[in-house]
């Protein structure tokens, strides 16, 4: 049987996505109650990092330990990938030794090639095109604070990047409206925009986009690997900061999310990040519980 991968949210059915979000909250409560839940005893997760991370590494490593399993951290210095071994060969070798593999890398195509040659489930820990694991935590966080996201209005402010693409997939799968406010030249991938057009639309004016929104979400203006573009991006995104004026356009009970790390006074003001609408610390914690639900789901079916 072919292994079940999670390369984008589209690898799940809508029902499976809803079940994962719900299961993540159940696992969170078990952990808080001090109830041991170790269904992955004897299982091993390999974590391949070509891009560094705080939340992704800690959530997967701690999550695997809490589920009774073991996690291996592999940086480019720790694998033959750093010396030019074809990714297909690394996939064949690793998947003969471990039970599940998480990769955090740059090109989405590299992840796809890895998964095509793996005999165990592969998880997208982030690529330049999608970040589905962060969306699991974000959707869990919204559900815990405000309930079902179906029929709600979400506004994405900033770069049309991997996070924006994942929100676009989520909007169509869970049937909510996604307004995307991006500067000209930084819009999301046109093919993904076309595929999700039923639920995701561009609204170039961020203040207009935020009107009556239930959730405002943003990300850094320059992601990892875009450091040389920092100055140009700061100029292009100057009118796309999430500040109190923008939050006032949303509903009174709107929440604010950011996948972190945040650059205060750049894409978001401290007033919003630390303010009453912000749920970013719950969002960060939920990476752990969402990743546990995902590992349990994939290994039960892998």
Q: Which residues are catalytic?
A: 104, 131, 134, 219, 259, 287
Strands (E), the chain: 44-49, 70-74, 100-104, 122-126, 153-157, 177-181, 200-202, 215-218, 255-258
* Alpha helices in 95-154, H assignment, sequence order: 108-116, 132-146
Q: What are residue 74's DSSP bridge partners? A: 48
CA of 170: how far to CAs of 51, 89, 126, 139, 200, in Å?
Answer: 24, 33, 16, 9, 10
- Judge if the upstream peptide bond of residue 7 is cis by omega within 30 degrees of 0: no
């Amino acid at each position: 049987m072919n292994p079940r991968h999670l390369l984008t949210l589209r690898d799940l059915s809508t029902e499976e996505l809803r079940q994962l979000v719900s299961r993540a909250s159940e696992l969170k409560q078990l952990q808080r109650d001090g109830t041991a839940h170790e269904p992955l005893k004897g299982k091993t997760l390999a974590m391949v990092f070509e891009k560094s991370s705080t939340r992704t590494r800690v959530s997967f490593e701690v999550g695997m330990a809490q589920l009774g399993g073991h996690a291996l951290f592999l940086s480019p210095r720790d694998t033959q990938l750093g010396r030019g071994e074809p990714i297909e060969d690394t996939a064949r070798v690793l998947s003969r030794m471990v039970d599940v593999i998480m990769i955090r890398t740059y090109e989405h195509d590299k992840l796809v090639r890895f998964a095509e040659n793996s005999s165990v489930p592969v998880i997208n820990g982030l690529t330049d095109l999608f970040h589905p694991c962060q969306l699991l935590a974000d959707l869990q966080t919204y559900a815990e604070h405000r309930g079902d996201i179906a029929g709600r209005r979400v506004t994405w402010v900033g770069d049309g990047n991997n996070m924006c693409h994942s929100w676009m997939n989520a909007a169509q799968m869970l049937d909510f409206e996604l307004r995307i406010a991006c500067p000209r030249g930084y819009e999301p991938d046109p093919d993904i925009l076309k595929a999700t057009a039923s639920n995701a639309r561009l609204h170039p004016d961020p203040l207009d986009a935020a009107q009556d929104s239930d959730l405002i979400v943003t990300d850094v203006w320059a992601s990892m690997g875009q450091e040389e573009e920092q100055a140009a991006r700061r100029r292009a995104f100057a009118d796309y900061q999430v500040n109190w004026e923008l939050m006032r356009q949303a509903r009174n009970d709107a929440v604010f999310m950011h996948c972190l790390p945040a650059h205060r006074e750049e894409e978001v003001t401290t007033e919003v990040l630390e303010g009453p609408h912000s749920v970013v610390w719950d969002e960060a914690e939920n990476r752990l519980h969402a990743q546990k639900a995902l590992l349990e789901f994939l290994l039960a079916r892998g």
